[in-house]
Chain A
Amino acid sequence: MVHFTAEEKAAITGLWGKVNVEEAGGEALGRLLVVYPWTQRFFDSFGNLSSPSAIMGNPKVKAHGKKVLTSFGDAVKNMDNLKGTFAKLSELHCDKLHVDPENFRLLGNVMVIILASHFGREFTPELQAAWQKLVAGVATALAHKYH
């Protein structure tokens, strides 16, 4: 189980409060699909994913990205119980969506990169380290119910 210090929790929560979830979600999912093209395999119904600009401008990508990042907000609120928080979503991603959990790690790292680009100087190495713990914890929690 991941353990967060009080400072890490405060730092993570503080930054999260400033994130535009809708924009960042679309950007995160879009970048995942651009940089790791095999992830497009889960989104055949999304229409035009033929180029970076098509992907980043695709309304379904933006909408789904917002959904994913909104869900990530639950992680920020429940850092002490990530496995419990994501149990149902873990089952969904295994049983219905059949997503390789390795892709959760990739998305987590893409999110960290986006935070760095949005927050610049504020995204110190220490803050990044706390966020890496969180995204790793979420990826593990989402993989937890796989069988």
Chain B
Amino acid sequence: MSSSSGLTFKLHPLVIVNISDHHTRSKAQTGRAGRPPRVYGCVLGVQTGRTVEIFNSFELRYDPVEELLDRAFLETKQEQYKKVFPKYDVLGWYSTGSDVQDSDMLIHKALMDINESPVYVLLNPTINHAQKDLPISIFESELHVIDEVPSLIFVNASYTIETVEAERISVDHVAHIKPSDGSSAATQLAAHLTGMHSAIKMLNSRIRVLYHHLASIQKGDAEYEHSLLRQISSLVRRLPAIDSPKFQDDFLMEYNDTLLMTYLATITKCSSTMNELVDKFNTAYDKQNRRGGRTTFI
């Protein structure tokens, strides 16, 4: 069921990183035995009109035996954060898990005295490689009539990710270091080149789409749209940035240098294959058992 409140939610990556970090830490602390425990915390942000922007979060102490949130702790934390970030309010809370549970409603209701309509951010820590989206869902509470009993239930809300420049740097950093632990120069180069390759591939496919569209306009299959053509024309005129003969010379020289490197690389690869081939051929067909390298001529 999706939310009908009409609020737009914007989530900052810092929150996601915080939640994931909290979860990983507690998982590491409990060790490998058993399922990782659920973690809980508050989310902070600003609500202006219909837009709810979630900037930050902090952790809460939860007693699993008593099933009680530590209210005193929450209040001290809230005061401290208010001093540093006066603009931020407690907008809701977060937790980890694969789906909403019944006990969550209790916590939700408990937070209602701080914020009349809190949001619930849920992170699914199970890694699913097939899934392309973020495993994060945002829930709101709504009063629905079910079996003639009005009750509060969670409804799913859509959200977008919003980044500030500073956050972009950290996200980039995390995204690139992650594939290998102790990344050597080779893997970093491979990661860099893969990123470049996918970026160029995407550029290529987008340009191809534009090209096909223009071709179909020319043929008469699509309609002649002036504003679109103006945009395409301004895009095309962006490159080349400079066009002087000196630039051409330098550019071509660098281009040829890179080509020379590629040429050298391909020749090296070829020579190495050839070397292996010759070794195999010698072991297979040579009657003498020659284990040495080249024999000198004189």
Whether both chains belong to one complex is answered with no
Q: Which B residues are closer than 8 A to A by beta carbons?
A: none
Q: Which A residues are closer than 8 A to B by beta carbons?
A: none
